Structure 1
Amino acid sequence: MNNDNLTPHIAQNIVQRTMAIINCNINVMDEHGLIIGSGDLERIGELHEGAILAITQQRVVSIDSATAQTLQGVKPGINLPLKHNLKIVGAIGLTGEPEQITQFGQLVCMSAEMMMEQAQLLNQLSQDNRLKEELILSLIQSDDLYTHLAEWGRKLQIDLELARVVAVLEVDSGQLGITTAMAELQYLQKTVESTLKHSLVAIQSLNEIVILMPALNRFKRWDIAEHQLKLENLVNQIKSQNQLDVRIALGNFFTQKDKQIAKSYQTAKTTLLVGKQRSLTKRNYAYQALILPVLLHGLSYNWQAEELLLPLKKLAIADHHGGLQKTLQTWFHHNLHNSQTAQALFIHRNTLEYRLHKIAKLTGLNLDKFDDRMLLYIALQLDKH
């Protein structure tokens, strides 16, 4: 039966590290006495009778030159049983005259056992990290999975009761090497984890990292500005340390503990998409700053959107130079204040009123009616997609 604690890879690592200190050949044998690591590579795969004695009798076995001639695959030296978790998992052998190397035997054996413990801890850590990533990716996929993942979270010491908000970090895939993309993303992941303390971070795809941030600050308040400042600092740090241009979007915070993460992820993804459509030069977007266009994004590709956009299409057909469309956008930007709009456009108020009257006539809408104004405003939001 294979022993995961003493693999050929670990055995050879033990050999290389101990031989760098001890001036003699080292052999590492598995629980059956088979050499799986050695300074003499030609010996790998041979059966070592001295190791079998050390394992079966659970003691240090010294073999001098005379005794070595009577055993198969054995040279003078000492063999010590290797233990891991209080069980003998193999043996380690030092080649040479016993009286010259015995003093090093226990030291080499102890070092080998410590290396096996370290390998086990690293393997466990790697497994826990993979399970943690799988948990994060499961949480962002479906709200229905929340109750089933609670026990999983407890085993990984992740508090699923903690209120979280999702941020999505996107790297331009053109910046990553084809063969090193995953390694670069993992390095980037470490940067995010060290910068945003107590956040859960997972690689979602070859250009996307998902971040589950604690939603409330130390005063138990949801502070959007505080989160945006953290993300702005993160973007700048990645730029300086990793030499990567990234974009990041902060989703909405939902208070229902069993519904928050998947919904927050969807709002972050859509916020990133809408943000890029509106401003490619920006690197940090927030749902709260783009609520209406994000919520309207789902309408972008169906018949309702076509109906809402009809008035703008009529206006565009007649407005060859785009002056009326710019006037309408500026009017809404200044919250329908005629004087501020006229100043921004460097025109007289009478000119503005003439243009607004013409816009109403071309679109077939009455700009004095709230519903008609709302229709035009929503159409403008959809038209930016």
Structure 2
Amino acid sequence: MELTDQLGREIINRLSKYINVPINLMNPQGKIVASTDPARVGQSHGGAIAVIETTEPQFITDEDVIHYANVKPGANLPIFHRDKLAGVVGLTGPPDQVTQAAGMTQGSVEIALEQIYIQRQAFYQERQWNHWLQQLLNEEMDRDELIREASYTLRTDVNRTWQVLVFQAEEPFELAESLKSMFHHKDYLFILPYQDNMVIATILFPETSIFYPDNIRSRIGVGEPGFSIDGIRHSFKQACEAIELSDRKCEPIYSRDLQMERLLHNVDPRTFLEVTEAYQNRLQHLEKIYHTTLTHFFKQDMKMNRTAEVLHIHRNTLIYRLDQLTRKVGLDPRHFKDAVILQTILLHN
């Protein structure tokens, strides 16, 4: 990474808060790209050119100024990034007074360059993964191309078994960063914000446990493990469906625990309408108390005593409500076949 105008300005803004002498940053061609003195930006710096030619520091005194173009007394030191010359840093002032500060500035600039480099690499890689994810979830994806791109561009072997976790939260970017730090000990393919309120995490199976930040309220859907590209797609859809089909919060919702719900939810729409339309209309006109009773009755596996206890009502009151519901809707939730139809209606509403 070389010192450019943009990088130079960013570094000067950081350093000028702590160093009270004039600072110049020159690129590998000796041009001043950033300075605490804006008037000097764009000039060719003779001292920097000498540093570039020799890769050695140049200390310029009042007597030396006449030997260099566009210079003032000061210390000019080479900047290296990953063993390559990235530019030159110069501090203005008597060399014996600014040399120590120049050395500290040199180290600070090299550290800043590395930090910026790492940040940019991470940002660039995340953009690549986002593009790859968009292609993956596209209905017209090219499976072979995605595998090649993962291998050659992202340097990842996707031909393994993965499990997708979908997190639904108000602050997806903050959540994604928290998850990356929490999953650092696990092998994960990617952890990316997706759409407005979602984070997708694809981790290597088997996972031993699932953690998420306590300070961020989030719903978590967990898909079934799957192999390679198709497995990731299926696991993602299952994780999303798990969130859709369950009202649980603050704990993982596993797709494998919702097999009946998934089956009923994916019934053919036309068949569903033919069978349930009349019952749906009647159910919609009932008071809310009947919907609540029916929901809890199914959650408690159609157990009368447990349902009455959860609803804080007498068993006879529950029986009365179910009798009224049966009479008004035409389906008795205490009978298996009728219960299946009612449960299907609830899942589609």
Tell me the TM-score normalized by structure 2: 0.73
Distance 2:329 2:314 in 1: 21
Letter in 1 for 2:193: I
Tell me the C-alpha RMSD between the 2 structures.
Answer: 4.6
Identity among equivalent pairs (%): 21
Equivalent in 330, 344, 349 of residue 381 of structure 1: 344
Distance 2:75 2:229 in 1: 61
**CA distance 1:217–1:317, change in 2 (3 Å):** closer
Q: How does 1:207-226 map to 2 (within 5 A)?
A: 207-217=197-207
Match of 1:221 in 2: none
Mean Cα displacement is larger for which, 285-294 or 109-118? 109-118
Equivalent in 229, 240, 244 of residue 273 of structure 1: 244
Letter in 1 for 2:40: R
Distance 2:16 2:295 in 1: 80
Equivalent in 22, 31, 37 of residue 28 of structure 2: 31
Letter in 1 for 2:177: K
Distance 2:284 2:10 in 1: 74
Equivalent in 271, 274, 277 of residue 307 of structure 1: 274
Conserved 8 A contact 2:147-2:229: no
Match of 1:82 in 2: 79
Tell me the TM-score normalized by structure 1: 0.67
Match of 1:54 in 2: 51
Partner SS for 2:237: helix
Partner SS for 2:42: coil
Distance 1:340 1:109 in 2: 73
Distance 1:201 1:31 in 2: 37
**CA distance 1:103–1:281, change in 2 (3 Å):** closer
Distance 1:321 1:71 in 2: 87
Distance 2:242 2:254 in 1: 7
Distance 1:321 1:126 in 2: 50
Q: Deviations over 1:11-39 (max 9, x none)?
A: 24554666677664221112333222223
Letter in 2 for 1:126: F
Q: How does 1:351-370 map to 2 (within 5 A)?
A: 363=330
Q: Deviations over 1:34-89 (max 9, x none)?
A: 22222333322333233234334554444332442565432122333434444444
Partner SS for 2:160: coil
Conserved 8 A contact 1:15-1:37: yes
Match of 2:177 in 1: 190
Partner SS for 2:91: strand
Deviation at 1:142, TM superposition (A): 5.5
Distance 1:110 1:7 in 2: 18
Q: Deviations over 1:122-173 (max 9, x none)?
A: 322332233334444544445954443334444545452332222222125x
Conserved 8 A contact 1:171-1:246: yes
**CA distance 1:317–1:161, change in 2 (3 Å):** closer
Match of 2:165 in 1: 167
Distance 1:267 1:247 in 2: 14
Equivalent in 181, 197, 220 of residue 248 of structure 1: 220
Distance 2:80 2:299 in 1: 76
Letter in 1 for 2:166: V
Conserved 8 A contact 1:168-1:208: yes
Distance 2:343 2:68 in 1: 90
